[in-house]
Amino acid sequence: MKLKAIHPTIAEAIELPRLVALGDNLFGAAFNLMKLLPARHILDRAREEGLLHPDSVIIETTSGTFGLALAILSALRGYRLIIVSDPVIDEPLKRRLEDLGAVVDIVQDPAPIGGYQQSRLDRVAELGQQYPDHFWPSQYENPDNPGAYAHLAEFLEEALGEVDALVGTVGSGGSMCGTATALRKSFPHLYAVGVDTHGSVLFGGKDEKRLLRGLGNSLMPKNLDHTVFDEVHWVSSAEAFHATRLLHRRHGLFMGGTSGAAYMVAKWYAERNPDQAVVCMLPDEGHRYQDTIYSEAWLQEKDVWLPGLPDEPKLVDQRDECDGEWGRMLWGRRSYVDVIGEEFQP
């Protein structure tokens, strides 16, 4: 049998989303695993630039899907991979990482400043000394993270013709900053809505323990360009989890908590701007959350069960005016200093 073309690996086959109608003017970019897109781009660029060799050890800090993306690519390409994480990593993800051949190195104690994310970075530095021929993807600082999303922007433009608003969660800053910046080359008017959570420092909040994972941060990533955002929302874990279940019940999309948070905000925005084509970023599927977000018992145990969602967010001028509840601020493409009044202090 003669093959017509070289077929892609699973990573290449699923790195772009399915585009799903969630309303008259709302489209969900539903990913199997969104982090495959930047992970593959980062590794490809590193290989081209001579930073990554066949015998290199890849070392990265993550407790989420970027680690899974790296593990899949490392298994396909034969790289050794060490994932530095902390005790909050969920056991099913840890098992999957290890089954793909990754070593999962768990730090036990949070740093006094920066919490577990800082202690993980310290451990990465230690491992880098042990393995001189290593490559650190550094998703929070590597410009190839946001740069990877030009491919997604091209896909959205070809599929929809025009995109007026983009709504998505913010963690490393890569997906929203990269996609919005690339889309604005064709659509300068694009309205970017970032979704954060309480207990995150990204848009002026205080670092606190967060039950909702995959968005927010305890440190300020260099890839976060605050001037990209027209508007910022903060949602609670309970609200995001309820919205995640609604996304499944109403649209059959079995996604994770970051997708629920983005959907909650995007639905509200799209209904109030019916003349705009709105895209909502839905980063990963819900299989890791069957015993948590999709479990009534777990929601009750964690005191994050809600009977419904608020009708709308509270419009605030200051970040601390919406602690614990759904709030929104008109960020206006301003810098962190312009909005908060001072430089970020870790």
Tell me the C-alpha distance between 183 and 252, whole Å.
Answer: 28
Average pLDDT, the chain: 94
Residue range 286-318, pLDDT digits in tens: 998 999 999 999 999 999 999 999 999 999 998
pLDDT score for 155: 97
Q: Would you say residue 112 has pLDDT above 90?
A: no
- Token output for 133: 């021929």
Cα-based distances in Å from 212 to 76, 133, 174: 30, 35, 19
Lowest-pLDDT range, 1-10, 106-115, 321-330? Answer: 1-10
For 339, half-sphere exposure in the C-beta direction (CA atoms, 13 angstrom radius) is 24
- In percent, the amount of the chain with pLDDT more than 90 equals 84
Q: Is the pTM of this model over 0.85?
A: yes
Position 147 confidence tier, pLDDT thresholds 50, 70, 90: very high
pLDDT score for 322: 85
Q: Would you say residue 115 has pLDDT above 90?
A: no
- Token output for 18: 């399915």
Tell me the C-alpha distance between 240 and 148, whole Å.
Answer: 27
Instruction: Please give the CATH topology (third level) of the domain spanning 10-34+144-336.
Output: Rossmann fold (3.40.50)
Average pLDDT for residues 148-167, to the nearest whole number?
97
Lowest-pLDDT range, 89-98, 113-122, 280-289? Answer: 113-122
pLDDT score for 345: 81
- Token pair 């809600």: residue: 306
Tell me the C-alpha distance between 317 and 328, whole Å.
Answer: 9
Residue partners of 96: CB distance under 8 A and separation at least 6 = 68, 71
Are 10-34+144-336 and 36-135 in the same CATH fold?
A: yes
Position 5 confidence tier, pLDDT thresholds 50, 70, 90: low
Tell me the C-alpha distance between 219 and 115, whole Å.
Answer: 9
- Token pair 């109403």: residue: 250
CATH code linked to domain 36-135? 3.40.50.1100
pLDDT score for 90: 86
Domain ranges of the chain: 10-34+144-336, 36-135
